[in-house]
């Protein structure tokens, strides 16, 4: 538990200094930063060599936090979230309260409420949402275990979490669903 707490503390230091972290999520290993800090988000896009026109996911610790970052969430989304088992990212219209380079031109934002204990504690202690994008250079497949992460990514972050580095369970990205204004769903990634 000492290592877990140390990882949280080191992540908080990096996040509070506009830094990038490499951390395990409820899906694949992710690169993260403060989702409300445009400078940190820009650094993350640069590390991934990714166009800022492509969305990145934001992790929240609690369902209720959706209300802070989506202007008009459909109340039915909360019932839907309770019924799903697989980690699922929702694309919402009307993103707000994030760095301007996290919200797409159409105003949408991709959000996942995490069930991972490490991520939940980190987000709660940080007090802000954290970006979660797969730990790969854009165009390459996401790594399924820590050892598959490219050295360029490892060298490009300010802190690498020790927790779960030895976990060899192959991870998969989250499902991605768009919650449309009319209450219907569009499956982007099953």
Phi/psi at 32 (nearest 5 deg)? -135, 165
Domain of 134, in residue numbers:
2-189
Q: Work out how many domains the chain is built from and give that number.
A: 1
Question: Alpha carbon 39 to chain centroid distance?
Answer: 17
pLDDT in tens, 58-78: 999 999 999 999 998 888 888
Confidence (pLDDT) at 36: 98
Chain mean pLDDT for the chain: 93
CA 128 to CA 184: how far, in whole Å?
28
pTM of the model as a whole = 0.94
Alpha-carbon torsion angle 31, 56, 71, 106, nearest 10: 160
Task: Give whole-number Cα distances, 15 to 5, 62, 77, 85, 87, in Å.
Answer: 15, 19, 29, 29, 24
């Amino acid at each position: 538990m000492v290592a877990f707490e140390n990882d949280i503390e080191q992540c908080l230091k990096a996040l509070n200094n506009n830094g990038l972290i490499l951390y395990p999520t409820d899906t694949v290993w992710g690169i993260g930063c403060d989702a409300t800090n445009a400078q940190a988000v820009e650094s993350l896009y640069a590390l991934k060599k990714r166009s800022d026109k492509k969305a990145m996911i934001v992790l929240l610790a609690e369902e209720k936090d959706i209300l802070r970052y989506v202007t008009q969430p459909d109340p039915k989304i909360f019932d839907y979230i309770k019924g799903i088992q697989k980690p699922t990212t929702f694309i919402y219209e009307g993103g707000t309260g994030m760095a301007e380079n996290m919200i797409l031109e159409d105003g949408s934002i991709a959000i996942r409420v995490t069930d991972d204990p490490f991520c939940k504690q980190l987000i709660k202690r940080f007090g802000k949402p954290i970006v979660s994008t797969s730990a790969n250079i854009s165009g390459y497949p996401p790594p399924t275990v820590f050892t598959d992460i490219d050295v360029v990514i490892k060298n490009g972050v300010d802190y690498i979490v020790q927790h779960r580095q030895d976990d060899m369970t192959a991870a998969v990205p989250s499902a991605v669903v768009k919650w449309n204004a009319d209450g219907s769903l569009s499956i982007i990634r099953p």
